Amino acid sequence: MQNLTLATADGGTRGIDAASLEAFRSDLRGEMLEQRAPAYQEARTIWNAMIDRKPGVIVRCKDAGDVVRAVGFARDNGLLVAVRGGGHNIAGSAVCEGGIVIDLSQMKLVRVDPHARRAWIEPGATLRDIDQETQTSGLAVPTGVNSTTGIGGLTLGGGFGWITRKFGLTIDSLVSAEVVTANGDRLNANATENPELFWALRGGGGNFGIVTLFEFELHQLGPQVLAGFVVHPFDDAVPLLKQYREMVASAPDELTCWVAMRRAPPLPFLPAEWHGRDILILAMCYCGEIAAGEEATAELRALGKPIADVVGPVPFVEWQTAFDPLMTPGARNYWKTHDFMQLTDAVIAVLVDGARKLPGPECEIFIFHLGGAAGRVAAAATAFPLRNAHFGMNVHSRWQERSGDVAHIGWARQVFQEAAPFSAGTAYVNFMPGDEGDRVRSAYGANYQRLAQVKRRYDPANLFRMNQNVTPSER
């Protein structure tokens, strides 16, 4: 072990002598990786290849005790801290430059009690880990749409996906959380213990501590759902979207239908002559009885003149991986997002025009519709900012080479700016890139000040700042 110079939270550096580092390392059940360690390169690499940071040290925690030790070491030395779960966050907040990464990716326990309909999940588990365990009992947690996403960041930002309209956001199924706070306390947060902390954890991101165990209520689901894609020529986008917004407004809670506008990948169910051409995709999932799903999706599937319709019964576990081939790690990614109360003609015009100008074959504009059970939770019940039924936009720019940065980032920002006059002002923080720190206050809307007060109580020195950061309130 050698002396190390690590980045501090105040922007400086601090030298840590070898004896102190060795004492810290020897207390861990997990491992501490310096930059020369064989596993370091893998441990610092995350999903978004735009993020190329070199932490001074990475602590791969094995249990909550390791998290307590790592938090104490970072706090006592004033170090810059990042917390890694699945490493999937678009902003790259899982790693920091020169500081300490508290890596939870090895903490992957998923324990299910099918009779109580409860699951206890460690923060390093991915959605695939969870679905494979819960679905053996025909149960599910409402989560996201990419199976490699980590449960920790997804949950703390709110969490939504294919079954949100039926069962609510991910946070609406959260029963309790075990949390390590900045001062090293291990707290239970639930409706009766530390209720303000529990409120803030449900949508407020990683601002308030490190969750070492989530407890979720489970819901009966599947194992099959009716799901798949209906693919249309992009030239029909405007009339299709106008009809789409009317249909989803009256859709049952069991039905979710989202839109993607992109160039057609070489999918086996698409005619070869359509590969690489502009398309509009209706991606839908019905999480009730299959026969009822056929009826509920009939109008949507009858729209226009589809190129392909591959909606049918499919195992939910399989459907949860449907977007994985388009979201593999190693590419450069930049996102911009808005919430819209309505998918108005003006919004449609902006998004369709943006989709006509895609800068590359892996880019897309994604439209999601929220409501149903998620919209029937009071706005002040959790930190998640917008509970009304609404539409959201994710302008997803994705490319392979650094030389494409200017064009791809510029396109995403342009669409974002043109859509801004029609937005609700709030935003889903898990879709916000790392250059939007000045937008956090508006993204949380009316909930921001309460979040800042909780931050002041549990993290007054802002130790947990590598996130969509809520700064501690002054009073």
**Per-residue pLDDT tens digits for 356-398:** 999 999 999 999 999 999 999 999 999 999 999 899 999 999 9
Instruction: In whole angstroms, give the CA distance from residue 238 to residue 352.
Output: 7
Instruction: In whole angstroms, give the CA distance from residue 218 to residue 26.
Output: 39
Query: What would the mean pLDDT of 215-226 be, rounded to a whole number?
Result: 97
Instruction: In whole angstroms, give the CA distance from residue 129 to residue 216.
Output: 14
C-alpha of 143 from chain center:
9
Residues in the chain: 475
**Per-residue pLDDT tens digits for 16-61:** 999 999 999 999 999 999 999 999 999 999 999 999 999 999 999 9
CA neighbor of 121 nearest in space, from 101, 138, 143:
143
Indicate the domain borders of the chain: 4-103, 110-221, 224-437
Instruction: Please report which confidence band the pLDDT of residue 474 belongs to, taking 50, 70 and 90 as the band edges.
Output: confident
| Paired residues of 139 in beta bridges | 220
What is this structure's pTM? 0.97
Does CATH place domain 110-221 in 3.30.465.10? yes
Instruction: In whole angstroms, give the CA distance from residue 87 to residue 150.
Output: 7
Instruction: Report the percent of the chain where pLDDT is more than 90.
Output: 99
**Contacts with 80 (C-beta within 8 Å, 6 or more apart), sequence order:** 6, 7, 8, 9, 96, 97, 98, 99, 100, 466
CATH code that applies to domain 224-437: 3.40.462.20
Query: Angle, to 10 degrees, between the axis of helix 18-27 and the axis of helix 64-76?
Result: 160
The CATH architecture that domain 4-103 belongs to is 2-Layer Sandwich (3.30)
DSSP 104: -
CA neighbor of 281 nearest in space, from 203, 218, 223, 368:
368
Report the run of H or E that residue 417 belongs to, with start and end: helix 405-419
Instruction: Say if residues 271 and 231 touch (Cβ distance below 8 Å).
Output: no
Token readout for 64 is: 């909550």
